[in-house]
Amino acid sequence: MENQASMLPQPAARPAGGVMRALSEVSESESNARGAMPPPLTSATGLKRQGSNCSLRSLYTLHVLGLRLSVPEPAQKRKTPADRSGDTVRPPPMSARPASAASHSAPGTTSLYRSSSNSSSISRSTSVTSRNTSASSYTGSLGSGIRPPSSMNIGSNTVRPKSSYTKDRALGRADSRPNTSLTNLAASHEMHASKSKKPSLPTLRGPRIAVSPALVVMPPPPRPTNMTDMRNTGPKRIPSVVIRMRDKNRDVSLSTQLNCIKIEDNSLEPDLPPQTPTRCRRHDSPSKIPKTSTPVPPVTPIPPKTPVLRHKSTMKRTQYLTFDTTIENFDPDEQYKDFKRMFEDYKQMHQDSMDKIDSARQESDIYKESLNKLEQENSSQTESIIQLKSENQTLAFRVETAENTIQELRKDHDAQVEGLRREHRANLETLRQEQRREIESLKMDHREELRELKQRYHDELEQERAQKVEALTQVSSQGALDKQRHQMDLDRKDQEVATARLEVERVQSALEREKELNDDLRVSLKTAGDNATSMEATRQGLQAKIAYLESDSKSQSEAYAAMEKCMNEALQMAQACEEKLRKEETMRRKLHNQVQELKGNIRVFCRVRPTLSAEEEIARMKYPDLEESTEIEVRGMDEVSSLGKDITKTHPFSFDRVFDPRQTNDDVFREISQLIQSALDGYNVCIFAYGQTGSGKTYTMSSEDGMIPRALRQIYSTSKDLEDRGWKYKMEGSFVEVYNEEIRDLLGDEEKGTKKHEVHHDMLNHETTITNVTTLSLDNQDQVESILSQAMSRRSVAATKANEHSSRSHSVFILKLVGENSVTGEKSKGTLNLVDLAGSERIRNADTSGQRLKETQSINKSLSCLGDVIGALGQQGQALPVASDVRSGLTSSREVSSSTGSTAHIPYRNSKLTYLLQFSLGGNSKTLMFVMVAPEKKCLGETITSLKFAEKVSRTKVGVAKRVK
Ligand SMILES: Nc1ncnc2c1ncn2[C@@H]1O[C@H](COP(=O)(O)OP(=O)(O)OP(=O)(O)O)[C@@H](O)[C@H]1O
């Protein structure tokens, strides 16, 4: 009692904070709301006002209340879940044991001792609470010393986990056990309002409940009812009850605020196992004792969950006593009843526990039963395994035996196969031998049959051949007869054709004559018409004259005679002029011939072609005679004397004309055009190009604008012009090449190319003919172009076919011109020879053999012969006393030659080329030689040789009058 008395002042000393006031209000409100509570509580406020009339029991109760009020905040005293879980098995402190023992020794004692701080001794009124120190302290903190087990004690939670959770339960037991304040706030409020006699709770506007934003009331951890529960209820499974005050800033009544309190059980929900009928039942009827409501599954029983709602009991304690409660109003009987009820509860709880133990035993029995079953199964399985092992061993033995058997069988089989193979080979060999013998015999038979067949077919063939021969003889004799008859028919037809042709020709000539006659008649008619007109005019004039003469006949007849005389004189004059013109034409031709002779019958032109490649080194050449272009100086190969002096020679050459590289084919042709004219005048003209390969011979002679095309075109056009002066020309052209001393026709058919061509000379008429050579007449311009293109194509074809033998052959274009003047009766017969000689450098090319050697020899021979012929002609000319005659310009060389009867030998026959050109290289012929020069330095040796040869030819000229410088 001293202790209790010493503790009494504590609540008084405490400041009356907001929490206290709120709690008192809550208590007041709850007491007002509690309908089942006895009247003294309803007048608690009145008692508080009286203050002085306090009984000892009331004082005790106040002490208990003071103890509650002095207890610190539950949150501060609350242990961690781990601690609480540990508390369930941890023995209470030693200091608490005596108290606990005391409480046991004196059950039903109403005194409770509780220290405000961590006191060393705690007094408990029930045996259940004595088992859990922390739970009892928590109970004490809430002032539940009156009903610790039912409200806050773990034991109570464990035994009756949901006894105060649901409102139904609380309301259902309201008569024997008051409802808790928190859970039944709303109900009590309603009940309070329903009692019209009771004053209504005034609305609290001033102080609000000074609870932190969330007033958390942590209940003690649930106590496990058995070992399974203890295992399953770890620290994590401790539920927390959170009471939150909503809308704390508003001035509302306390009841309204309490309505807003939410109870959350956050910790339980996530960990709840899947909903089972057990849990549902327990939640739905929390008042039931777990022993009856918790079904145990046969194998894995689910431990019962600890009920959660304990705060109701806790809050219930707060509604009895407050600071304002007076001792007089405190009812010990009520408290006694409460304790009695508590005892009943605990009894019930004990019963429940016993039930649970029974159920646990039942579970254990079930487990044992299942264990026995499992052990039985295990033993049966072991037996079956042993049996299987023995079977396995038996099978392994059998397999081994079977393998041995297979091995033996395989050996037997191999031996059998080997024997069969040997037998098969022997059989095969026998069969082969038999087959060979059969084949041999068959072959023999076959040969015999073949021989017989051959013989038979041979006989038959002979018979048939004899028959055929006989038939053929008959047919051929018949054919000969037919042929003879046909030939006769053919001859007769030929005669008829010839007769018809003659007739046609006769008719044609008659037609032409008729045409001519017709033309003459037309001319006569026209003339007659003209004459008639003129006669008419004359007649009129004569009539006028008659009239005039009639007037003055004498003077008129004199004038007429004078006019007639004048007319006759004019006619005579015209005839004299025509005669003179013809004589002049003859004179011009003579003079032209004389001029050509004065220029020389053999002339040499030198032409230097331009360089073809810029890389080539050029030989040094000079053209000193710029006015007449007749000289060229070629600087020879570089030479240095033994003294180191430059002794390089310069070779001067003089020709009839020198063409430098800038001059074109047109310039060249202008110089030779008069020579071409000589051919029309009846002279033999020969123009040939001489020089090494690549020096420009073909370009000068046979290219598209070379000398041959130009000469042909000029001859054709000049012949046409001369037609006005009575000349009519017949022109025939042929194109041949001399290769290896053989003549080939370049205009003929390819088949004819194999024909032999021989050169024949008509010494009387100075005519040369080539046998079997193709000759094309140039009657019109088209034919001129045709012969040119044909000649060019054949030349190129020949060049391709003969493997470039064009460079190793001499090509000769021969144009024969026969003219006749129908007025004067003059005749002319000239020949133009245009020759493209083979490359001259091959003359010294000794390292050749076979075909090439033959080519080289033939080229060498022909060019050498040409030089010999020209030389002989020169000697012949020098030996003749023609200089004075030439100077007088009256005698031609032919005349001189023939007049002197020179018999000097000219070796024309030594080569095919000179023989072909015999009448073009002497007599009245005019010869022009082009010496072609390549400007490259590498060709310098050949160039100087060619120029020396050409100069020698040039010196053979007859009667050449050199210009005196
Ligand atoms: N005056 C020139 N102007 C331009 N090019 C020229 C001239 N002369 C020759 N050529 C060119 O030089 C090359 C050799 O000329 P060309 O074939 O006429 O020589 P070639 O002496 O006839 O040779 P080959 O003896 O082998 O027939 C040709 O490509 C030709 O076009």
For position 648, which CATH number holds?
Answer: 3.40.850.10
Q: How far apart are CA 955 and CA 965, in angstroms?
A: 18
Q: 400 lies in a domain?
A: no
Q: Of 607, 608, 609, which is best to mutate to test ligand 1, by the most ligand atoms within 8 angstroms of its C-beta?
A: 609
**Nearest atom in ligand 1 to 838's CA:** 25
Structure tokens given for 328: 């007089």
Q: How far apart are CA 587 and CA 397, in angstroms?
A: 149
* For ligand 1, atom 23: residue with the closest CA: 694
**Nearest atom in ligand 1 to 701's CA:** 18
Q: 290 lies in a domain?
A: no
What digits encode the pLDDT tens for the residues 464-519? 889 888 888 888 888 888 888 888 888 888 888 888 888 888 777 777 877 787 77
Note down the domain range covering 864.
600-955
**Nearest atom in ligand 1 to 691's CA:** 21
Q: 45 lies in a domain?
A: yes
Q: For residue 694, report the distance from its CA to the centre of ligand 1, in Å.
A: 5
Q: For residue 696, report the distance from its CA to the centre of ligand 1, in Å.
A: 3
* For ligand 1, atom 2: residue with the closest CA: 609
Q: For residue 454, report the distance from its CA to the centre of ligand 1, in Å.
A: 72
Q: Of 663, 699, 704, which is best to mutate to test ligand 1, by the most ligand atoms within 8 angstroms of its C-beta?
A: 699
Last residue of a domain, one of 279, 301, 330: 330
**Nearest atom in ligand 1 to 702's CA:** 18
* For ligand 1, atom 11: residue with the closest CA: 696
Q: For residue 849, report the distance from its CA to the centre of ligand 1, in Å.
A: 27
Cα–Cα distances in Å, from 623 out to 154, 599, 932, 952? 146, 21, 15, 19
Q: For residue 827, report the distance from its CA to the centre of ligand 1, in Å.
A: 39
Q: For residue 370, report the distance from its CA to the centre of ligand 1, in Å.
A: 127
Q: 423 lies in a domain?
A: no
Q: For residue 533, report the distance from its CA to the centre of ligand 1, in Å.
A: 68
- What pLDDT sits at residue 549? 67
Q: How far apart are CA 180 and CA 311, in angstroms?
A: 8
* Cβ(757)–Cβ(743) below 8 Å: yes
Last residue of a domain, one of 283, 299, 330: 330
For 680-826, strand residue ranges (E) read: 684-691, 727-739, 742-745, 759-762, 767-770, 776-777, 810-821
Q: For residue 934, report the distance from its CA to the centre of ligand 1, in Å.
A: 9
* For ligand 1, atom 1: residue with the closest CA: 609
Residue 761, φ and ψ in degrees, nearest 5: -115, 130
Q: For residue 700, report the distance from its CA to the centre of ligand 1, in Å.
A: 8
In this structure, how many other beta carbons lie within 10 angstroms of the beta carbon of residue 579?
11
Q: For residue 416, report the distance from its CA to the centre of ligand 1, in Å.
A: 97
Query: What one-letter code names the amino acid at 324?
Result: D
Q: Of 611, 692, 698, 704, which is best to mutate to test ligand 1, by the most ligand atoms within 8 angstroms of its C-beta?
A: 698
**Nearest atom in ligand 1 to 804's CA:** 26
**Which parts of the chain register pLDDT below 70?**
1-330, 549-554, 556, 582, 592-600, 749-754, 791, 794-807, 841-850, 876-904, 923-924, 957-965
* For ligand 1, atom 25: residue with the closest CA: 693
Q: How far apart are CA 179 and CA 173, in angstroms?
A: 8
Q: 50 lies in a domain?
A: yes
As to burial, measured by CB atoms within 10 angstroms (0-12 exposed, 13-18 middle, 19+ buried), residue 799 is middle
Last residue of a domain, one of 298, 330, 362: 330
Minimal CA–CA distance to 859: which of 609, 692, 685, 707?
692
- What pLDDT sits at residue 368? 93
Q: How far apart are CA 243 and CA 213, in angstroms?
A: 10
Q: For residue 746, report the distance from its CA to the centre of ligand 1, in Å.
A: 21
Task: For residue 318, give every residue at least 6 positions away whose Cβ sits within 8 Å of its Cβ, in sequence order, or none.
Answer: 23, 26, 27, 30, 68, 142, 143, 181
The 10 Å CB-count burial string (b at 16+, else e) for 552-568 is eeeeeeeeeeeeeeeee
Q: How far apart are CA 589 and CA 679, in angstroms?
A: 11
Q: For residue 794, report the distance from its CA to the centre of ligand 1, in Å.
A: 18
Q: 820 lies in a domain?
A: yes
Global pTM? 0.44
- Where does ligand 1 bind, in terms of residues with CB under 6 Å? 609-610, 612, 691, 693-699, 806-807, 839, 932
Q: 363 lies in a domain?
A: no
Minimal CA–CA distance to 160: which of 319, 357, 347?
347
- What pLDDT sits at residue 31? 40
Q: How far apart are CA 219 and CA 152, in angstroms?
A: 7
**Nearest atom in ligand 1 to 607's CA:** 1
Q: For residue 792, report the distance from its CA to the centre of ligand 1, in Å.
A: 15
Q: For residue 669, report the distance from its CA to the centre of ligand 1, in Å.
A: 17
As to burial, measured by CB atoms within 10 angstroms (0-12 exposed, 13-18 middle, 19+ buried), residue 279 is middle
Q: How far apart are CA 475 and CA 881, in angstroms?
A: 80
Q: For residue 866, report the distance from its CA to the centre of ligand 1, in Å.
A: 22
Q: For residue 793, report the distance from its CA to the centre of ligand 1, in Å.
A: 17
**Nearest atom in ligand 1 to 663's CA:** 1
**Nearest atom in ligand 1 to 932's CA:** 21
Q: 574 lies in a domain?
A: no
**Nearest atom in ligand 1 to 836's CA:** 22
* Cβ(963)–Cβ(606) below 8 Å: no
Q: For residue 674, report the distance from its CA to the centre of ligand 1, in Å.
A: 25
Q: For residue 699, report the distance from its CA to the centre of ligand 1, in Å.
A: 5
Q: How far apart are CA 698 and CA 1, in angstroms?
A: 162
Cα–Cα distances in Å, from 798 out to 277, 694, 736, 747, 795? 124, 18, 11, 11, 5
> Reduced to 3 states, what is the DSSP secondary structure of residue 831?
strand
**Nearest atom in ligand 1 to 699's CA:** 18
The answer, yes or no, to whether ipTM is higher than 0.95 is yes
The 10 Å CB-count burial string (b at 16+, else e) for 33-61 is bbbebeebbbebbebbeeeeebeebbbbb
* For ligand 1, atom 27: residue with the closest CA: 807
**Nearest atom in ligand 1 to 806's CA:** 27
* For ligand 1, atom 31: residue with the closest CA: 699
Give the total number of structural domains in the chain. 2
- What pLDDT sits at residue 88? 42
